[in-house]
Structure 1
Amino acid sequence: MQRIVIVGGGYAGFYAAWNLEKRLRPDEAEITVIDPRPYMTYQPFLPEVMAGSVEARHAAVSLRKHLRRTRVVAGEVTRVEHARRALQVRPADGDDVELGYDVIVITAGAVTRTFPIPGVAEQAIGMKHVEEAVAIRDKLLTSFDRASVLPPGPERQRLLTVTFVGGGFSGVEGFGELLSLATSLLRSYPELSLADLSFHLVEAAGRILPEVTDEPGRWVVKALEERGAHVHLNTQLVSAVGGHVVLSTGQEFDSELIVWAAGNAANPVVAQHTDLPVDDRGFLRVRADLRIGTAEAFVPDAWAAGDDAAVPDIAVGTPGARTVPNAQHAVRQGRHLAANITAVLRGGTPKEYVHQSLGVVATLGLGQGVFQYRRLVVTGFPAWVMHRGYHVLAVPTWERKIRVLAVWLAAGLFGRDIVSLASVQHPREAFVRGGAPR
């Protein structure tokens, strides 16, 4: 009986455990997944959660419900000592616990990359988790309610100003979806107009969406600007103290909502608290067969995949190329991990991970999208349909597929739900205050 411990229940971790259950007999291995959250987040749906096109719970897949033979440990791994085949787990309550293992799989995922910019830690909201997507949506809806009773002026302008920092896929998709929600809300707020909205996308590079070529990237910028957005290229955020945004171009404005989507950084547990080999960026050194190590030698009984692993991309044929840290690779690497681990446990030989990109697709709001596969570029409504079609097929389990389709159908018939539940972030406030006026 082999003890297999999977660190992280994201894409790669969930799919590795799910497929190990299918491949291994119950008497062959005991599988454990360790993650602070009891669910896998389907991150491509986060922009639509922000816009109210997908229910928050439908973008999360319960680990306990779908991993029926896997032990799920709710906690955070704080140290990995592979030389002893042991790791430390910090649960939400109680003391740290040491767990032993025979085989370790690290799919911890990356963390949000931040910079020491004044005000960001106090004002910004990230975009990696369902809770953040819900908070962004509720904050925008609450701002509309507050702004609708104010006369035109600086305070109303501040409430209706939204700033996204980061022009990668998650930032652009979130920006486009939230802009779509905001413009649709104007029908329900006759006191407000399109001129009251001020949406800013800030990107330090000279272009957005680095995963696509220049031409579709320029098309996206043009499409967003035609919808009233302000796209700031070659621009950095200098300060956000008190919600007052200062850009490197000298432009300044007050923004009620600031969303940080400026990329990923290595998970500090992997980068600093393990005896496994990491590269100069803090990512695990991984071979093409997903075993941790180098091309010359691998670390026995240690595997890794996903955003926190420097997996060679042998499909592109370029020396030193690494797979892009996206859902497309993480899902397939998780499945490949399960196949290779099963092969090794049964005396076989692991195979190299090879995956030709299926292209990239992004939503820019209701009815708007962009898709590129090599030289083929599709924009507008057809790309948006392709985006929805691909992701409803990609989200794991038929239960989630049906729930998402049902929500999309209901939204198509009745429109998006525009109720803000921001008070859920402070559930005891009404109880403590009672009926007393403030």
Structure 2
Amino acid sequence: MGTASNMSEHVLIVGGGYVGMYTALQLRRKMRRRLRDGQLKITLVDPQSYMTYQPFLPEAAAGNLEPRHVVVSLRRVLPGVTILNGRVTGIDHALREATVRVVERGEDEPEEIRTVSYDLLVFCPGSISRTLPIPGLAEHGIGFKTVAEAIFLRNHVLRQLDIAASTTDAETRRRALTFVFVGGGYAGVEALAELEDMARDACEYYPDLDAKEMRWVLVEASDRILPEVGVDMGKWTVDALRRRGIDVRLQTLLKSAENLDLVLSDGEEFGTGTLVWTAGVRPNPLVKETDLPLDDKDRVKATAELTVEGVDNAFTAGDIAAVPDLTKPGEFCAPNAQHAVRQAKVLGDNVVAALRGGQLKAYKHAYAGSVASLGLHKGVAQVYGIKLRGLPAWFMHRTYHLSRLPTLNRKARVTADWTLALFFKREVVSLGTLERPREEFKLATKKY
């Protein structure tokens, strides 16, 4: 790595997720004087102007948390850092240049392409949903990685209840009350469990609906769900979901979703109004538009110190990085929030050390365990070999993630949301019309 004496100290951070934001925070805190004196410039590039704390997306979707409270404004917490809203479309690290397509201003506006020169690169654009060439999936599937998707899914589920309660057609009602989630990892299980819990509560306000009419289906290709919590707790979770009436299909694949008429590998066919795809993630395609070294899974090759392998002045971490797991020789860290949160701190410190000409530290994290929420007051956890279920696991899930949520402001707001929920029922209003804000105005201007 270079040192402060031979670097002009322009740091480019690609990605405004937890890793990117925390790295920028560390640089601001520990190199405040250089930043103030103009000796250090930090540029962070991301399409969004905020960081999303993804572990809280299921609670935001279920109405337990205000969606704005699970995101952190990058400009608010990173004064002095240049926030460039756009997508990096290519990186030539040999020339220390990144090509950025500025966020589109409108369909008829020309694209603005910028070239950003830098001296040190922090590459952490994160992952995207891993999809398969299943007929109908691209047209009808809903992802669950962003706050926009969480808000959309909440409104969509409540809208389906509205449709079911208003229609006189039996088939339309049945499809509206059928909700299918593909993928039995954290995202799929937590999203399904939280939304099923919310929909069951919402049925109280629909006299013509019986919660038993709803059909919630979880489709998982392997023989278990939530592998991170262990075999025993994974089996317990399957049993707990089934006791709630949720149809858990293990060792089952989605074969087709054309017109939302689903075909499963076990031979069953049925229609639905909701198809949520949470079957894993893959590295951001941007990795292929760089000259950084990649492994056979399209992850950036990284060292234990979170530098890019064989490359000077480049760091990486998070879902797109193949970081060696020093606690399991020969293996790599899994692309999950637990590693991303811990890697972020080491990465931030190492970038500061590189700028100061100091010693870099290796990332080594012994796996402590995992926690998952299964709805209000329900959860599952395995931490340091201790297995928890129900209310204790749910409480541990909230406590752990609250401690990892960035900024005191957001911690206070999330705590306030949870406190108010102890005294008031959650809101069950669909605001799906927010997705079509000009529809009413168009109707008003229509000529008869």
**Could you tell me the TM-score, scaled by structure 1's length?**
0.96
For residues 207-218 of structure 1, what are the structure 2 equivalents within 5 Å?
207-218=224-235
How much has 1:327 moved relative to structure 2?
1.7
| Aligned Cα root-mean-square deviation (Å) | 1.5
Q: Distance in 2 between matches of 1:390 and 1:32?
A: 31
For residues 256-267 of structure 1, what are the structure 2 equivalents within 5 Å?
256-267=273-284
Match of 1:100 in 2: 117
Structure 1 stretches lacking a partner, 5+ long:
none
Cα displacement string for residues 327-373 of structure 1 (whole angstroms, at most 9, x for unaligned residues) = 22212212211211111221212110112233210000011100102
Which deviates further from its counterpart, 342-351 or 239-248?
342-351
Q: Distance in 1 between matches of 2:446 and 2:358?
A: 71
Cα displacement string for residues 7-59 of structure 1 (whole angstroms, at most 9, x for unaligned residues) = 00001111111111111132442111000011101000110111011111111
Query: Do the aligned partners of 2:52 and 2:146 also contact (CA within 8 Å) in 1?
Result: yes
For residues 120-135 of structure 1, what are the structure 2 equivalents within 5 Å?
120-135=137-152
How much has 1:150 moved relative to structure 2?
2.8
Q: Distance in 2 between matches of 1:204 and 1:351?
A: 39
Query: Do the aligned partners of 2:190 and 2:373 also contact (CA within 8 Å) in 1?
Result: yes
SS at match of 1:370: strand
The one-letter amino acid of 2:289's match is H
Which deviates further from its counterpart, 374-383 or 8-17?
374-383
Q: Distance in 2 between matches of 1:123 and 1:22?
A: 45
The count of corresponding residues between Structure 1 and Structure 2 is 431
Q: 1:76 aligns with which of 84, 87, 108?
A: 87
Match of 1:311 in 2: 323
Q: Does 1:279 align with 2:287?
A: no
Match of 2:52 in 1: 41
SS at match of 1:328: helix
How much has 1:152 moved relative to structure 2?
7.1
Q: Distance in 1 between matches of 2:338 and 2:246?
A: 29
Q: Distance in 2 between matches of 1:229 and 1:62?
A: 37
Cα displacement string for residues 289-324 of structure 1 (whole angstroms, at most 9, x for unaligned residues) = 00100xxxx31101000100011111x2x2221112
Could you say if the C-alpha distance between residues 428 and 249 of structure 1 is closer, same or farther in structure 2, counting changes exceeding 3 Å?
A: same
The one-letter amino acid of 1:385's match is F
Match of 1:179 in 2: 196
Q: Distance in 1 between matches of 2:441 and 2:43?
A: 40
Identity of aligned residues (%): 45
How much has 1:415 moved relative to structure 2?
0.9
Q: 1:227 aligns with which of 244, 247, 252?
A: 244
Structure 2 stretches lacking a partner, 5+ long:
1-7, 105-110
Q: Distance in 2 between matches of 1:68 and 1:32?
A: 11
Q: Does 1:330 align with 2:340?
A: yes
For residues 146-295 of structure 1, what are the structure 2 equivalents within 5 Å?
146-151=163-168, 153-270=170-287, 272-293=288-309
Q: Distance in 2 between matches of 1:404 and 1:195?
A: 32
For residues 111-126 of structure 1, what are the structure 2 equivalents within 5 Å?
111-126=128-143
For residues 9-48 of structure 1, what are the structure 2 equivalents within 5 Å?
9-24=16-31, 25=33, 26=35, 27=37, 28-48=39-59
Q: 1:54 aligns with which of 60, 65, 70?
A: 65
Match of 2:397 in 1: 387
Q: Distance in 2 between matches of 1:95 and 1:435?
A: 33
The one-letter amino acid of 2:175's match is R
Could you say if the C-alpha distance between residues 244 and 405 of structure 1 is closer, same or farther in structure 2, counting changes exceeding 3 Å?
A: same
The one-letter amino acid of 1:123's match is H
Query: Do the aligned partners of 2:219 and 2:252 also contact (CA within 8 Å) in 1?
Result: yes
The one-letter amino acid of 1:281's match is K
Q: Does 1:4 align with 2:11?
A: yes
Q: 2:437 aligns with which of 427, 430, 438?
A: 427
Q: 1:88 aligns with which of 99, 123, 130?
A: 99
How much has 1:437 moved relative to structure 2?
12
How much has 1:95 moved relative to structure 2?
2.2
The one-letter amino acid of 1:358's match is A
Q: Distance in 2 between matches of 1:355 and 1:394?
A: 16
The one-letter amino acid of 1:53's match is N
Q: 2:368 aligns with which of 342, 358, 364?
A: 358
Cα displacement string for residues 262-298 of structure 1 (whole angstroms, at most 9, x for unaligned residues) = 101121111x1111101011100000000100xxxx3
The one-letter amino acid of 2:20's match is G
Q: Distance in 1 between matches of 2:447 and 2:397?
A: 48
**Could you tell me the TM-score, scaled by structure 2's length?**
0.94
Query: Do the aligned partners of 2:9 and 2:41 also contact (CA within 8 Å) in 1?
Result: yes
Which deviates further from its counterpart, 139-148 or 325-334?
325-334
Which deviates further from its counterpart, 1-10 or 386-395?
386-395
Match of 2:354 in 1: 344
Query: Do the aligned partners of 2:178 and 2:273 also contact (CA within 8 Å) in 1?
Result: yes
Which deviates further from its counterpart, 232-241 or 322-331?
322-331
Which deviates further from its counterpart, 386-395 or 4-13?
386-395
Match of 2:407 in 1: 397
